[in-house]
Structure 1
Amino acid sequence: MDLRQLGYVVAVVDHGGFTRAAAAMHVAQPSLSQAIRSLEAELGVALFDRIGRTVRLTAAGRALLPSARQALRDVDSAREAVEAVRGVERGRLDLVSIPTLGVDPVALMIGAFHRSHPDVTVRLIEPDDAAAVAGMVAGGEAEVGFAELPLTEAMVQDGRLDAVELEEQEYVAVLHRTVEQGPSVSMGRLAALPLVTTIVGTSTRRLIDDAFARSGRTPRIAIETDLRDVITAIVEAGGGYSILPRHVAERMERRGSGEVHVAEIVPRISRRVGMINRPGTLSPAALAFIAVAKGRQQRSPDVVLQQ
C-alpha cells in the first residue's frame, strides 16, 4: 500500500468514477485502475463494486476511505511544515516601528530573532506615529508593527489588525547638570525650563503635550526638531531639558560624561505600547519573529502581555 494508491481511491470517490478520477490525477485510466486492483489484491478485498459504469465503495472501501483521506492530509501537513521551515530559514521580514521603540524593545527582539534565523533579512522602517505604523501593516508594506496603544477605531476597522500589548513605557526628564539634581521633578518645575523636543505630530510630542495639558501647564518650548540625536546633543550642551523614554534617557546618562542626569516626572508620564499585525496573513518568518517577541516579553518580569 502506498500514498499513490490511496490518492487514487480518494479520487475515484470524489470524482464519481475511474475515468474522471484519472483525468483529475493526470494519469491514464488503465494505470489508475491497475494501481487500485494491486491495492485490492494486497488487502485481499474489493474496494469498489463495479456495476456497468456505476462505481460504489464496498464495506471494505468505506472502512478504508477515512484513513486514506487522513493519510493524504498528514502528507500535506508534513509538506507544509517543511515549506514553513524553509520559509523561516531564508527570506525577508519587514517590520515597522515608531522611533522610540526602535532601540528597546524592537532592536532586542530583532537580535534574538537573528541569532536563531541568521539567513532572514530584516528590514525596519521608522515612521513618526502609530497611525503610520498601523497603515503600513494594514496595507501590507510591513508584516509586524510596533506602536503605542490603544489603536484608534480607524486603525482596526474591518478587523484588519490584531494587537498584543507588550509593556508600559515610562517617560522621564533628562536635565543638564547645571539644573538642580534630585530623584524626581514636578511638571510645574519643568514648565519653567526650556524644553528640547520633537516636532508637532509625532507620538512623543503628543504624549508630552497631553501630559502638560492634564497638569494645567504649558511647556516652554525652546527647540523643536525631528532629529532625535540632535535632541540629546543639545541637552548635553546645556540647551535645555528633554522628556524621553526611560531606556533612552538612562542609556544617554550612562554614555555621557556627567553632563546630564535623569529624574522621574511627577505625576508619572507613560504609555502602553504593543505589537500589531494583520491576522491570517503572516509569513513563516513573521510567525517565528512574533514567537520570539512573545517569548522575550514573557520572560521579562516588568511587562504585561495581553491580547
Structure 2
Amino acid sequence: MARGRRVPTIARMELQQMRYVVAVAETGGFTRAAERCHVVQSALSHQIARLEKDLGARLFDRTSRSVRLTAAGEAFLPVARQALEAAERARAEVAAATGEVRGRLAVGAISTVGAVDLARELGAFRTKYPKVRISLQMEMSDPLIERVRAGVLDVAFVGLVPGARAVGVREEVLARGELVAVVPPEHPLARREWTTLARVARETFVDYAEGSAARRQREEAFRAAGLTTQVAFEVTTVEFLAELVRAGLGIGMVPEVSARKLAGLHLVRVRPAPVRTERVVWSRLGPSPAAAAFLAGLGVEVG
C-alpha cells in the first residue's frame, strides 16, 4: 500500500520539474521563473538539479548574466511542454465528463482576421466559461499552423490562398475574400475606384515576409498573370504596413475588410483580384473541451 500511495507523488513531482524547466526557458532566468511558479528560487533550482541528475545531462548553461538551454535542454523542452499539456488536457476531459468546461484555450490569429469578431467572441466565451484560462497570440499564418500542430495553440485563425492545405491540422473555411490595394491620399491611384494588376505591378510594395502565406496570397495572382513585383519593405502586421504606406514608401495589398479599418488610406479594387480564404484550424487529434466549446460557439462542427 505504501507503494501505491507513492506513485502519484512521484508523478506530480516530475510534472512540477517539467513546469520549472519550461518556466526558466520562457523567462530566461531562475529568479523570474520562480516568481512565475510562486516558489522560492532555491526550491526551483533544487528540483531542476534533481531532474538533471536523473537525466544524466545538464539542461541549462548558467552564467552570471544569462541562462541558456543546452542541446539536451533544447531536446527536453518540447517533450516537457507536451507532457504538461497532456496532463492539463486529462484534467479538462475529466471535468468535461462531469459537465464542467475548464482548462485552457490558447488562441492564435493573424492581424487581418475578419471572418469573426475575435474580441467579442473571446469576451462572450469568458463570460460563459469563467474557469477556462484564455490566451491570444498574434502571428503570421504559417507559424500559427505549426503551433497548433505542436499543441502550443488550441485553435488559430489563418489566411491562405484557396488551393493551399493546412497540413497536420483540421480546418474549416470561414470566409473567402479579395485583396485590395491601399494607397496614400496623394497617390495617383487614389483617384480611382479600380485598376489592373498590370498597373499595380509597376509600384513598390510594402508586404509581408517572403515565403509567408500572406505574401503568397498576393504574389500568386501576379505570377499567374505573368507579372513580377518589387517589395522594398517587409512587415509582420497590417498596422505597420499601413504606417509605411501612409509615409509614401510604397503601396500594400490587404483583405478588403482590413483595408476599410485603415484610417488615412484609400482603397482601390484590383482586377483580376488576388483571393484568399480565412480559416480556423485545430488539432487533428481533436479539440480539447474548451476548444470544442469555443468552436461550437462559432458554428464550427468538429465531429
In structure 2, the partner of 1:192 is: 202
Question: SS at 1:152's partner residue?
Answer: coil
Q: Give the letter for the 1:117 counterpart.
A: Y
The C-alpha deviation readout for 1:90-134, integer Å capped at 9, x for no partner, is 43211223333289554443234234334432212233233x333
In structure 1, the partner of 2:135 is: 123
In structure 1, the partner of 2:225 is: 215
User: CA–CA distance in 1 between the matches of 2:253 and 2:203?
Assistant: 12
Q: Which of 165, 170, 182 is the aligned partner of 1:174?
A: 182
Question: How many residues are treated as equivalent by the alignment?
Answer: 207
Alignment of 1:57-206 (within 5 A): 83=97, 85-86=99-100, 88=101, 90-101=102-113, 104-130=116-142, 132-147=143-158, 148=160, 152=165, 155-156=167-168, 161-180=169-188, 181-206=191-216
Question: SS at 1:294's partner residue?
Answer: coil
Aligned-residue offset at 1:194: 2.0
The alignment's TM-score, normalised by the length of structure 1, stands at 0.59
Question: SS at 2:147's partner residue?
Answer: helix
Cα RMSD between the aligned structures?
3.0
In structure 2, the partner of 1:47 is: none
Query: Residues 115 and 175 of structure 2 are in contact (CA less than 8 Å); yes or no, is this contact kept in structure 1?
Result: no
Residue 290 in structure 1 maps to residue 298 in structure 2: no
| Unpaired runs of at least 5, structure 1 | 1-78, 296-304
| Unpaired runs of at least 5, structure 2 | 1-92
Q: Give the letter for the 1:167 counterpart.
A: A
User: CA–CA distance in 2 between the matches of 1:163 and 1:266?
Assistant: 29
Q: Which of 224, 227, 231 is the aligned partner of 2:234?
A: 224
Aligned-residue offset at 1:186: 1.1
Query: Residues 111 and 237 of structure 2 are in contact (CA less than 8 Å); yes or no, is this contact kept in structure 1?
Result: no
Query: Residues 182 and 251 of structure 2 are in contact (CA less than 8 Å); yes or no, is this contact kept in structure 1?
Result: yes
The alignment's TM-score, normalised by the length of structure 2, stands at 0.59
In structure 2, do the counterparts of structure 1 residues 163 and 196 end up closer, same or farther at CA, with 3 Å as the change threshold? same
Aligned-residue offset at 1:213: 0.8
Query: Residues 206 and 232 of structure 2 are in contact (CA less than 8 Å); yes or no, is this contact kept in structure 1?
Result: yes
User: CA–CA distance in 1 between the matches of 2:136 and 2:163?
Assistant: 22
Residue 271 in structure 1 maps to residue 276 in structure 2: yes
- Greater Rg, structure 1 or structure 2? 1
